[in-house]
Amino acid sequence: MVVKVIVEFQAKPGKRAELLRLIDSVMETHAAQMKGFFGSSLFEVPENPDMLVEIADWESAEARMAVMEQAAAADLFAPFMELLAAPFRATVVKPLA
């Protein structure tokens, strides 16, 4: 079953543009190799100028977790951690049955 993943990125003050460039770069470089990833959209939060929200479509929560584990093992999250004020928050949702 396809799931949506809502990811909240709280950038350090003034670092949102840099975070956006990093997300775009990672997606351009790695999205095609992310098994089970169908695409995503980024949103801004008008009340919080340092926050970005990504809504992504995945084949399953397990497919996403496998990709995240591979990314962590390859240390792909390190550049993000330098720009984030707090760890990103991811919520997996699926349609009601």
pLDDT digits (tens, 9 = 90+) for 56-81: 999 999 999 999 999 999 998 899 99
Going by pLDDT thresholds of 50, 70 and 90, the confidence category of residue 45 is very high
Give the whole-angstrom CA distance, residue 21 versus residue 26.
9
State the CATH architecture for 3-93: 2-Layer Sandwich (3.30)
Q: Which tokens in the block code for residue 75?
A: 């240390």
Asked if residue 97 has pLDDT above 80, the reply is: no
Give the whole-angstrom CA distance, residue 67 versus residue 28.
16
- 26-38 confidence digits (pLDDT tens): 999 989 999 999 9
> So where are the chain's domains?
3-93
Give the whole-angstrom CA distance, residue 30 versus residue 72.
13
